[in-house]
Amino acid sequence: MTDSTSVKTAEEAAAATSEAGAQPSEQPALELDCRGLACPLPILKTKKAMDGLAVGQLLKMVATDPGSVPDVAAFSRRTGHEVVSQSEGGGEFVFVIRKV
Amino acid sequence: MSGNGNPKRLALIASKGTLDWAYPPFILASTGAALEMDVAVFFTFYGLPLLMKDLKAKVSPHSNPAMPMKMPFGPPGFQNFSWPIPNVLSGNVPGFETFATKMMKKTFAKKGVATIEQLREACVESGVRLIGCQMTMDVFGFKAEDFIEGTEIGGAATFLEFAADADVSLFI
């Protein structure tokens, strides 16, 4: 589900995030599909994906495990990354996390 | 490393080698590393074979009298049903362990649960220290080359030196 045309360069993403807060137009640098995966795979894959991003870039992660809601929050508190947005619909949980 | 200052330290002892009991140490160790903790796992006694290249962990209903027996196929109501298989039967019928192991692996795969091999690989990749117990090796006749690459061999002192500064220590 990763759209290669939406992948930004680190410079572009850093420029976009130099303004405070999340910009509505800001596109995730990477999309990660964790649907159907159980604990702890969504967190392990999220960590790996975050490691590949530049500071300031966004990761969009989609999961179906309801446990990923408290777990992504805990992951972000421990690692310092920022959950920019979080939504739920149709049994799917969508997180947008900024690398800090 | 972490948002709260110094990296936290997680020290685990893995002492059980069945398929079901292999999960907690590898889940916690890999997740701890993902949370940017420093992690070490000491594999001792029956936990030591979890480091072998050829992982043969099985589930044994014998030592888990409360283990629910689930079927990995059929409609949800059927899958969620716990089969009332008496322990005297599950513990004594030849081949039951192999059967139960197959069922558990299938059920886990269907539910999107990682395999032990995947979690172990995640631990290796993320720099978790995997310490094999020298004394257990000697007792059970294992050799260092039986274990996966990256396995460190040590004793109680090796583990305790790390665990002495741990924020979380668990015996599993």
pLDDT in tens, B55-95: 888 887 666 667 777 778 888 888 888 777 777 666 677 78
pTM: 0.82
Report, as an integer, the average pLDDT of A4-31.
Answer: 57
- Asked whether residue B159 carries a pLDDT value surpassing 80, the answer given is yes
Position B51: which residue type?
L
Q: What is the distance between the alpha carbons of residues B17 and B24, in angstroms, rounded to a whole number?
A: 11
Of the residues A10, A39, A44, A100, which is catalytic? A39
Task: Give contacts of B121 with chain A, Cβ < 8 Å.
Answer: none
**Cis peptide bond N-terminal to A24, omega within 30:** no
Report, as an integer, the average pLDDT of B99-114.
Answer: 91
Q: List, in sequence order, every residue forming a beta bridge with A93; answer none if it has no partner.
A: A63, A88
Q: What is the distance between the alpha carbons of residues A39 and B118, in angstroms, rounded to a whole number?
A: 13
- Asked whether residue A2 carries a pLDDT value surpassing 50, the answer given is no
Position B21: which residue type?
W
| B117–A contact, CB cutoff 8 A | no
Q: A72: nearest CA in chain B?
A: B35
Is the complex ipTM more than 0.85? no
Residue count of chain A: 100
